[in-house]
Each structure stands twice: as structure tokens, then as C-alpha cells.
Amino acid sequence: GAGVSQSPSNKVTEKGKDVELRCDPISGHTALYWYRQSLGQGLEFLIYFQGNSAPDKSGLPSDRFSAERTGGSVSTLTIQRTQQEDSAVYLCASSLGSGINFQQYFGPGTRLTVT
Amino acid sequence: AQTVTQSQPEMSVQEAETVTLSCTYDTSENNYYLFWYKQPPSRQMILVIRQEAYKQQNATENRFSVNFQKAAKSFSLKISDSQLGDTAMYFCAFMKHETDDMRFGAGTRLTVKP
């Protein structure tokens, strides 16, 4: 596809269940990012991948959150034992280029609602 | 770690007037890049303007300009002749030189009133 895609677009889950969110970056983009945006709030950095490795996992809110990226492409963000405070829009972005030519391309997000 | 602070959660401006959104950041780096992104209700993030820290000249893009004060670690966005379509969340972002590690501020919700 031409842009970053994320699935599902919406997910409603019961408290305590596990969820998996998927991100398909733009083909060839080496860097991939996950952010969380709570209703009307700012962007909270979660994790960033350079290729398949994650140089910085410091943004993950708790050990219930994990992410992986395989083949330098698709990434999944997993939230175990979901809590109501996990409800948010989860945004994925990918990028190519560096320096002043750097630009992130964002996906449409996955809206997660934990009931 | 770098932090980006946007101290104005919400702002409003009358159509055709000028508004300035504030952003400060904390870093020990000398070379870096700063960005302003716009997120309209569609949720799509749009790059508005970017600035290289080693350039003293402030970046401009049509009605959008920045006031970059490196010593003060300040990077404000000025929107001139505000239009209704400028209504959005605006995020300030920081990236270290020669990395892909981008960090965002909490955002400022701007409403342009007719």
C-alpha cells in the first residue's frame, strides 16, 4: 500500500483480555514507532524500532506491554491483561531518511476501548 | 532523554488573526532537529514545518513560521492569517542529529473561530 496501515481500526475488549495491534509500515522504511494518544491528549512515546531491534523501550507503560517487529517490516504491539486505562488510540509511524529530510508517516491508528 | 514541553493545552484565535504556540525542550545535544506537526480531526499527522538546530535563520512555510531560540531551547510556531482549516492539535517534536528517535510534546489544541 501507499501508506502506513494499522489493524484493526477499532477494538473493543473486556478488561483482563489480551489484545494484539498490528502495524504495516511503508515498504522500505527502516524505522517504526508506536505512540499512544489518550482521548484529547498528546502523543505518548511507547517504543521505536530500527530494523528489528528496539533501541529504546523506555516508553512502554508497564510489563503488560510488549512489541516486536519481524523481517524489518510488520510490527505487533501486544497488551496483556488489558485495563481500562489502556483505552486510547494507538498510532504507528514509519520513517525513511535522516536529518532534515526525515519525515514520519503516520497510520490512521487503532482505537482501543477496554470495557 | 530529551523532553518536549508544550505549556498551552488549548488555545483559540479569531479567523484572520495571528497566534503563537509555545514549545520548549530539554537536551544536552548541540545538533538536532525540531518539527511542528498538525493533527486535524481526521487524526492524520501532517508535517507543518521543520528546523535544523545549526541554522540560525527561522524556518518559514507560507503562513507558518517559527521563532527558534537555541540558547533558551524554545521553538514557537506562529500562524498568520489563521484559517478555519487550521483548527487541529499541534505537536512540537524533537529529534537528535543522526538518529530516527523522534519525541513529541503533549500537544496544543488550537481552535480557529469564525
Average pLDDT value for residue range A47-57? 84
pLDDT at B100: 73
pLDDT at B35: 94
pLDDT at A42: 72
Helix (H) or strand (E) holding B46: strand B46-52
Q: Are strands B64-69 and B74-79 parallel, antiparallel or unpaired?
A: antiparallel
pLDDT at B41: 81
Percentage of the residues of chain A whose pLDDT score is greater than 70: 93
Q: Considering only CB atoms, which chain A residues are within 8 Å of B97?
A: 99
Indicate if the pLDDT at residue A98 is higher than 70: no
Q: Which of A112, A108, A83 is nearest to A12 (CA)?
A: A112
A4-8, A15-19, A38-42, A46-50: which range is least confident on average? A38-42
Rg of chain B over all Cα atoms, to the nearest angstrom:
14
B1: its cell numbers? 532523554
The three-state (H, E, C) secondary structure of chain A, written as one string = CCCCEEECCEEEECCCCCEEEEEECCCCCCEEEEEEECCCCCEEEEEEEECCEEEECCCCCCCCEEEEECCCCCEEEEECCCCHHHCEEEEEEEEECCHHHCEEEECCCEEEEEC
Mind listing the pLDDT tens digit for each residue in A6-32? Answer: 999 999 999 999 999 999 999 988 889
Mind listing the pLDDT tens digit for each residue in B82-113? Answer: 999 999 999 999 988 877 778 889 899 999 99
B97: nearest CA partner in chain A: A99
Residue of A48, A57, A102, A105 to mutate, testing the B interface (most B Cβ within 10 Å of its Cβ): A102
Q: Considering only CB atoms, which chain A residues are within 8 Å of B104?
A: 35, 42-43, 45
Q: Are strands A10-13 and A110-114 parallel, antiparallel or unpaired?
A: parallel
Contact check, Cβ <8 Å, A100/B109: no
Contact check, Cβ <8 Å, B100/A50: yes
Q: Considering only CB atoms, which chain A residues are within 8 Å of B6?
A: 42
Contact check, Cβ <8 Å, B50/A35: no
B50 touches chain A (CB under 8 A): yes
B43 touches chain A (CB under 8 A): yes
Under the banding of pLDDT at 50, 70 and 90, the label for residue A38 is: confident
A90: its cell numbers? 494507538
Please calculate the CA angle B93-A74-A106 and round it to the nearest 5 degrees: 30
Handedness of CA A24, A26, A27, A29 (dihedral sign): negative
Contact check, Cβ <8 Å, A106/B103: no
Nearest chain B Cα distance for residue A72, angstroms: 15
A109 touches chain B (CB under 8 A): yes
* Closest CB from A41, A48, A95 relative to B106: A41
Residue of B102, B103, B110 to mutate, testing the A interface (most A Cβ within 10 Å of its Cβ): B102
pLDDT averaged over every residue in chain B: 92
Mind listing the pLDDT tens digit for each residue in B44-89? Answer: 888 999 999 988 899 999 999 999 999 999 999 999 999 999 999 9
